[in-house]
Amino acid sequence: MTDATRNASSPQGCSPKDRVLIFDTTLRDGEQCPGATMTFEEKLEVADVLDAMGVDIIEAGFPIASDGDFEAVSAIARRIKRATVAGLARAISADIARAGEAVRHAAKPRIHTFVSTSPIHLEHQMRKSEEEVLEIITKTVAQARNLVEDVEWSAMDATRTPIDYLCRTVEAAIKAGATTINLPDTVGYAVPDEYRAMFRQIRERVPNADKAIFSVHCHNDLGLAVANSLAGIEGGARQIECTINGIGERAGNAALEEVVMALRVRGDVLPYDTGIDASLLTRASKAVSTACSFPVQYNKAIVGRNAFAHESGIHQDGMLKNQTTYEIMTPESVGVSKTSLVMGKHSGRAAFRSKLKEMGYDLGDNQLEDAFTRFKALADRKKHVYDEDIEALVDENLASAHDRVRLVSLTVIAGTRGPQRATMKLDVDGRFVTEEAEGNGPIDAVFNAIKAIVPHEAVLELYDVHAVTEGTDAQAEVTVRLSHEGSSVTGRGADPDTLVSSAKAYLVALNKLIAKGVRLHAQAAAE
Ligand SMILES: CC(=O)SCCNC(=O)CCNC(=O)[C@H](O)C(C)(C)COP(=O)(O)OP(=O)(O)OC[C@H]1O[C@@H](n2cnc3c(N)ncnc32)[C@H](O)[C@@H]1OP(=O)(O)O
Ligand SMILES: CC(C)C(=O)C(=O)O
């Protein structure tokens, strides 16, 4: 641990852990993510959330990039009282002057200047020799240090830089006054062992290494940004550069929420503290996603909408018995109100029973088994099973417990070439009866088939259909009202197939009439 990080050690009473500084670059590298540009106001909002969450350094932008960026960095510098506010600058005098001007009103200003160090970059981008770049480092870091006390220097493409030359650049930067040395994996090329070893070697070999805090900055081109960041910390770095939701150039940067929670949850093997209030992580994720109009992938660790959602029966059963069976952190710890047990085709009885209880149903074992069978059948056909879907099927189930006429099967031929034809099989008092009927439209054909099997005088007073939930696979809920000899009854049926729900609704109403004493005439031959 360097002197600088020791100053920021753990709160009193906690076991002493090394403090890792969180440098958030959502507003700079994050904004470099294609399509993630934020307006001035959006940047201020994000900066406020970051500050409230306790990030140590907010990299507010790249002031030379545009007047808009300069204005945003200046406004954030004026506004933020707790965190350090940094502005990025190339190793160019005008950039450094502009960054210095932008952050000068910050309570804690930082200039972050960078230059390439790898042979590929020196030859093809900078078109400079190693010696020329060493001179540039000395000159530009000194210029920045004349403007502010807190200067960060980054070796762009450090992980593709030969270690001997990297040592020389780091030594030069510290000598010129850099207080933080960032060794970025600019192109997401490193693997954890290599990145950890790089920090160990640099800290051992550079004579003045203990005068600076070392920093990691990892890109996610191989999906290793978080793993590399943690490895860099094990190698002696004490600052992590990261972004909310992992947004950033190309495949993005290490996600702030992931590094913070990895350090917290695995404190046993990663004994480091951050100053982040993790309960604000979800809020920060939403704020950034909204500001950038950049959706968070559903299965994103920590802040994705599925991060605390369980659909499979075995997991749901475990969760109902004890949350630690399938969750390594509580949803509340990252600002999510609760775990969700999502009802779907992989759910089991334990979760179904619990869901029904939550919805206010108290079913006996047989009723529950019946409803569960119907739920599984529905889930096989429907992508999302919502509470309303479950409610519809349970209500229908309860209503049909004493029915004398039940739907067994239905086939309808419909389309532009009428007449429409329905073939229906009903269970009437335990006997199967099949009839075929035509109609003026498929629903008329369905109702005529019912009348053919169970002739009755009742009049259809109302037919209404609406979607219970969203999407083309939504359950259609049909309401049918029948009246007979002064009494009228209503039936409801739900099914993703409107014709089936129509038949069910009609039969519910008909069964109610039968229960009221209307006589049945099952005419068709029993099978
Ligand atoms: C790894 C990173 O994320 S680095 C940060 C990347 N972010 C950005 O580039 C976003 C903001 N950028 C911009 O708005 C523009 O690129 C500007 C304003 C910075 C520069 O614009 P321009 O002057 O038109 O230059 P352009 O972008 O075409 O080329 C970059 C120039 O900077 C040079 N350069 C790149 N990095 C550095 C550096 N660290 N120090 C000095 N010069 C550098 C390049 O060699 C090139 O110089 P050249 O024109 O002499 O060949
Ligand atoms: C400017 C530096 C830190 C950078 O963004 C990178 O190397 O990825």
pLDDT digits (tens, 9 = 90+) for 377-415: 989 988 788 887 887 778 777 666 678 999 999 999 988
- In ligand 1, the atom with minimum distance to the C-alpha of 64 is 18
- Give the residue from 395, 414, 442 where a domain finishes: 395
| CATH number of the domain enclosing 161 | 3.20.20.70
* Binding residue positions for Mn(2+): 29, 217, 219, 253
Which residue's CA is the nearest one to ligand 2's atom 8? Answer: 186
58 and 107 fall within a common domain? yes
Write out pLDDT tens, residues 237-296: 999 999 999 999 999 999 999 999 999 999 999 999 999 999 999 999 999 999 998 899
125 and 229 fall within a common domain? yes
What token pair was written down for 448?
């005529």
Is 258 touching ligand 1 by the criterion CB < 6 Å? Answer: no
Which residue's CA is the nearest one to ligand 2's atom 2? Answer: 156
> For residue 33, is it within any domain?
yes
Is 29 touching ligand 1 by the criterion CB < 6 Å? Answer: yes
> For residue 6, is it within any domain?
no
> For residue 8, is it within any domain?
no
**Pairing state between β 431-439 and 420-428:** antiparallel
Cα distances (angstroms) measured from residue 381 to each of 369, 376, 387: 19, 9, 16
Task: Please report how many Cα atoms fall inside a 13 Å half-sphere around the Cα of residue 276, on the Cβ side.
Answer: 35
Measured from the alpha carbon of residue 94, the closest ligand is 1
379 and 241 fall within a common domain? no
Write out pLDDT tens, residues 131-157: 999 999 999 999 999 999 999 999 999
The confidence score (pLDDT) of residue 249 equals 97
The confidence score (pLDDT) of residue 147 equals 98
The DSSP secondary-structure symbol of 439 reads: E
> For residue 378, is it within any domain?
yes
Provide the percentage of residues in the chain whose pLDDT is more than 70.
Answer: 94
Contacts of residue 58, Cβ cutoff 8 Å, sequence gap at least 6:
24, 27, 47, 50, 51, 76, 80, 83, 84, 85, 86
494 and 360 fall within a common domain? no
The confidence score (pLDDT) of residue 515 equals 77
| Cβ(196)–Cβ(224) below 8 Å | no
Which residues of the chain are modeled with pLDDT < 50? Answer: 1-14, 522-527
Domain of residue 191: give its range. 18-285
Cα distances (angstroms) measured from residue 303 to each of 127, 140, 299, 306: 42, 39, 8, 8
Is 99 touching ligand 1 by the criterion CB < 6 Å? Answer: no
> For residue 118, is it within any domain?
yes
478 and 506 fall within a common domain? yes
pTM: 0.81
381 and 413 fall within a common domain? no
319 and 199 fall within a common domain? no
The confidence score (pLDDT) of residue 8 equals 37
Which residue's CA is the nearest one to ligand 1's atom 22? Answer: 65
Distance 282 CA to ligand 2 centre (A): 26
The confidence score (pLDDT) of residue 231 equals 98
ipTM for the predicted complex comes to 0.98
